[in-house]
Amino acid sequence: MRRNYAAAVLGGLMLVSSLAGCGGGDSGSESGSDDKLVLGFSQVGAESGWRTANTKSIQESAKAAGIELKFSDAQGKQENQISAIRSFITQKVDVIAFSPVVVSGWDAVLKEAKDAGIPVILTDRAVDAQDTSLYESFIGSDFVEEGKKAGEWLAKEYEGKTEPVNIVELQGTTGSAPALDRQKGFADAIASNPNLKIVKSQTGDFKRADGKTVMETFLQSTPDIDVLYAHNDDMGLGAIEAIEAAGKKPGTDIKIITVDAVKDGMTALADGKINYIVECSPLLGPQLMELAKKVDAGETVEKRVLTKETTFTQEQAKTELPNRQY
Partner 1 sequence: MTSILKNRLFWPAAILVVLLVINMFTSRQFVTVQDGHLFGTLIDILRNSAPLILVGLGMTLVISTGGIDLSVGSVMAISAAVACLLIQDLDDQNSVGPVLLIIGIAIVVSMLMGLWNGALVAIIGIQPIIATLILMVAGRGIAQLITDGQIINVQSGPYATIASGFFAALPVALLIAVAATVLILLLTRRTALGLLLESVGGSPTASRLAGIGARRITIMVYVVAGGLAGLAGLIYSANIKSADSISAGNLIELDAILAVVIGGTALVGGRFSIAGTVLGAVLIQTLAVTVVAVGIPSEANLLFKAVVVVALCLFQSPTLREKVFGRLTPRTARAEVPA
C-alpha 55/C-alpha 283 separation (Å) is 9
131 vs 244 by CB, closer to partner 1: 244
Within 8 A by CB and 6+ apart from 295, the residues are 95, 119, 121, 136, 137, 301
C-alpha 320/C-alpha 53 separation (Å) is 17
Q: Which of 214, 269, 278, 292 binds partner 1 (CB under 8 A)?
A: 214
What's the closest the beta carbon of residue 200 comes to partner 1, in angstroms? 6
Question: Is position 212 an interface residue for partner 1 (rule: CB under 8 A)?
Answer: yes
Within 8 A by CB and 6+ apart from 161, the residues are 195
By C-alpha distance, which of 122, 47, 60, 90 is closest to 325? 60
C-alpha 283/C-alpha 130 separation (Å) is 28
Subset of residues 43 to 102 that bind partner 1, contact rule: CB under 8 A: 46-49, 52
What's the closest the beta carbon of residue 237 comes to partner 1, in angstroms? 8
Task: Confirm if 127 and 113 have CB atoms less than 8 A apart.
Answer: no
73 vs 290 by CB, closer to partner 1: 73
Stretch that binds partner 1, among 111-119, 201-209, 272-280, 307-315 (CB under 8 A): 201-209
Stretch that binds partner 1, among 108-116, 157-165, 245-253, 296-304 (CB under 8 A): 245-253
Determine if residue 56 is left, alpha or beta; phi over 0 gives left, psi from -120 to 50 gives alpha, anything else beta: alpha
Q: Which of 78, 201, 311, 316 binds partner 1 (CB under 8 A)?
A: 201
Q: Which of 218, 229, 276, 312 binds partner 1 (CB under 8 A)?
A: 218
Task: Confirm if 230 and 205 have CB atoms less than 8 A apart.
Answer: no
Stretch that binds partner 1, among 12-20, 35-43, 102-110, 203-211 (CB under 8 A): 203-211
Stretch that binds partner 1, among 34-42, 124-132, 151-159, 214-222 (CB under 8 A): 214-222
106 vs 143 by CB, closer to partner 1: 143
By C-alpha distance, which of 264, 199, 196, 217 is closest to 236? 264
C-alpha 93/C-alpha 36 separation (Å) is 11
What's the closest the beta carbon of residue 295 comes to partner 1, in angstroms? 30
Task: Confirm if 135 and 129 have CB atoms less than 8 A apart.
Answer: yes
Subset of residues 275 to 314 that bind partner 1, contact rule: CB under 8 A: none
146 vs 169 by CB, closer to partner 1: 169
Give the footprint of partner 1 on this chain (CB under 8 A). Answer: 46-49, 52, 171, 174-175, 200-203, 205, 207-210, 212-214, 216-218, 220-221, 223, 234, 237-238, 241, 245-247, 264
